[in-house]
């Protein structure tokens, strides 16, 4: 989807509806038959990414996931964050601008803009935590945030993420 590519490459503010329409081969009038605003389009983009993440998680995790399953799932989520470059922008001022303009009903139903998605996935299993759930969530968020600083890591950022994730799993779960 051209909107996802543009957002990932140029950001929300610099993505232009007219240019998207040209790339997609449709008129601006046709665009507004499907979306009432640029924000509605981007809500749809995030819904698509969310669907991919949910599919990825469901495909990776069994009904009784092991630590290894959760580790693999988090690695795949990290790679999706890296590939899309949109999810890693969640704390940017540009993303905040988008959220301020996004329809309220979308914000209320979307899981992608909060931590519930990762939390529900990682903590609704037969695995026992060795620490407070909030602390474990903080560790997972910190690890996933490596993607936002990948240029400053000074080494293969995924390998760093992978090494750190593997090293904390036994500290988080029994």
Confidence of residue 109 (pLDDT cuts 50, 70, 90): confident
CATH number at residue 155: 1.10.357
Sort 104 into a burial class: Cβ within 10 Å, 0-12 / 13-18 / 19+. exposed
Domain count, the chain: 1
In a domain, 93, yes or no: yes
Does residue 14 belong to any structural domain of this protein?
no
* Domain range enclosing 131: 38-172
Residue 3 falls within a domain, yes or no?
Answer: no
Let me know if residue 18 belongs to a domain. no
Asked whether residue 10 is assigned to any structural domain, the reply reads no
Cα–Cα distance, 56 to 60 (Å, whole number): 6
3-class SS at 159? helix
| C-alpha–C-alpha distance, residues 78 and 68, integer Å | 15
Would you say residue 7 lies in a domain?
A: no
In whole angstroms, give the CA distance from residue 64 to residue 76.
Answer: 18
**DSSP secondary structure string, 1-34?**
-HHHHHHHHH-TTT--HHHHHHHHT--HHHHHHH
Top pLDDT among 126 and 131 is at: 131
Of 3-12, 37-46, 61-70, 86-95, the range with the lowest mean pLDDT is 86-95
| 116-126 pLDDT tens trace | 666 666 776 67
Is 142 within the bounds of a domain? Answer: yes
Asked whether residue 27 is assigned to any structural domain, the reply reads no
Cα separation, 26 vs 16, in Å, equals 14
Tokens of 17: 């509806």
């Amino acid at each position: 989807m051209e909107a996802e590519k543009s957002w990932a490459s140029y950001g929300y503010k610099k993505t232009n509806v007219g240019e998207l329409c040209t790339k997609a081969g449709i008129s601006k009038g046709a665009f507004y038959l499907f979306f009432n605003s640029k924000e509605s389009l981007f809500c749809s983009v995030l819904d698509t990414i969310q669907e991919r993440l949910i599919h990825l998680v469901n495909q990776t995790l069994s009904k009784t996931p092991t630590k290894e399953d959760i580790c693999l799932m988090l690695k795949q989520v990290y790679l999706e964050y890296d590939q899309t470059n949109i999810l890693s922008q969640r704390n940017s001022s540009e993303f905040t601008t988008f959220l301020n303009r996004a329809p309220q009903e979308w914000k209320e139903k979307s899981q992608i803009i909060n931590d519930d998605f990762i939390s529900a996935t990682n903590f609704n299993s037969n695995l026992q935590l060795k620490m407070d759930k909030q602390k474990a969530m903080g560790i997972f968020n910190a690890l996933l945030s490596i993607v936002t600083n990948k240029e400053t890591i000074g080494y293969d950022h995924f390998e760093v993420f992978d090494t750190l994730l593997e090293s904390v799993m036994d500290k988080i779960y029994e």
